[in-house]
Amino acid sequence: MDVLARYESIIDDYDAFLDACMRPLPTTVRVNTIKATVDRVVEALDAEGVSATRRSWDAAVLEVDTAKPGNTWPYVHGWIHGQEEVSVIPPRVLDPQPGEVVWAAAAAPGSKATQVAAQMDDTGLVIANDDNLGRLSALRGNADRLGVTSMAVTNEDARFQTFEPFDVERVDRALVDAPCTCEGTLRKSPDALEGAGPESSRHIATVQRDILSRAIELTKPGGTVVYSTCTFAPEENEAVVDSVLDEGDAAVVPFDVPLDSSAGLTQWDGTSYTPTLERTKRFYPHQNDTGGFYVAKLEVTA
């Protein structure tokens, strides 16, 4: 927890934050609307004695009173996918439409990429990429169980990705759910803070910046790029977005999510960022009883 001490000055009610970080997460699942409706999932879980509570802000997110939702019929049928509540936010902000071509730059294990496919009614094309071959099998396994027919999986370094195999130059939208130090997942993984710290964050930020920059290059003018991480570190969040904005090809745009959040930082550690970073959002564990997340929505301008 010492790693978190440097955030005391930026987090409202820091003690409540620390308390929340110590508590285990509620178990949540996302309903896969490609295969089932929320009502059928709730009914099928109920028949197995598992009660499910709908989250008011997103009907497809259910809190379930079992630690093992994978041992239920709805899971076997690909009707549900175990997914942390805040991890549902980035695809919602991306707001992909049926028939579009969308790039998920760092997609494994595929929770958000399959959610993107579901939001598009499983039509169009989701190009789901990951540079880690070992994690691709999880991505493919999840996409197959969820019955996704609109996804292509690629194994590239996202910083140099092209869409040549698909005869596509630029996509309509891109999701950069970046590889990060994962501080925000500590409620799920107690060892999440190992190796975290400003030095790790600055190191990984160079990769994050290159992937985000590539996503802007590869998205059509007027298109949307969503950048997200599951970490609190400003070096991996606002600083990354700020440095990419300097290139002048994208602008931060406001978005709404019906959950409590804090505005993105406009300064940190003696450095000031572009004022529009206030439009980005930080989701802290004590605000909605979730993990931690950072989300920025960008519109490509050139």
Partner 1 sequence: MNDSGVPLAPDGGEPENRSDRFERLPATEPERRVPGRPTRDAVVEWWSERFDIDPATFSAYTFWEKGAGRVWALHHTLTGPVAVESLGLPILRTRQEFWKPTTNAAQRFGTEATRNVIELDGAAAKRFVAGEDHDIEWDGDWGYVIAAHRLAGELEPIGVGLYTYGTLQSMVPKGRRRDF
User: Is residue 32 within 8 Å of residue 147, measured between CB atoms?
Assistant: yes
Phi, psi of 91 (to 5 degrees): -65, -35
Residue 33 is encoded by which pair of tokens?
């609307």
> Which residue's structure tokens are 């759910």?
177
Task: Indicate whether 65 belongs to the interface with partner 1 (CB under 8 A).
Answer: no
Specify the DSSP class assigned to residue 27.
Answer: P
Residues 45-64 interacting with partner 1 (rule: CB under 8 A)? 47
By CB under 8 A, name the one of 1, 134, 167, 270 that touches partner 1: 167
Q: Give me the amino acid identity at 213.
A: S
From candidates 150, 181, 200, 287, binder to partner 1 by CB under 8 A: 150
Query: What sign results for the dihedral spanned by CA atoms 142, 144, 150, 151?
Result: positive
149 near partner 1, judged by CB under 8 A: yes
* Interacting residue with partner 1 among 153, 239, 252, 277 (CB under 8 A): 153
Question: For partner 1, what does the binding mask look like between residues 8 and 47, x meaning CB under 8 A?
Answer: ---------------------------x---xxx-xx--x
What's the min distance (Å) between Cβ of 114 and partner 1? Answer: 12
Q: State how far the Cα of 33 lies from the Cα of 35, in Å rounded to an integer.
A: 5
6 contacts partner 1 (rule: CB under 8 A): no
Q: State the sign of the Cα–Cα–Cα–Cα dihedral 130, 133, 136, 138.
A: negative
Site string for partner 1, 74-113 (x = CB under 8 A): -xxxx-----------------------------------
Task: State the number of binding residues for partner 1 (CB under 8 A).
Answer: 36
Q: Which of 5, 166, 190, 199 binds partner 1 (CB under 8 A)?
A: 166
Torsion of CA 185, 287, 209, 84, to 10 degrees: 40
**Catalytic positions, please?**
230
Rounded Cα distance between 95 and 89, Å, is: 10
Interface with partner 1 (CB under 8 A): 35, 39-41, 43-44, 47, 70-71, 73, 75-78, 122-125, 136, 140-141, 143-145, 147-155, 165-167
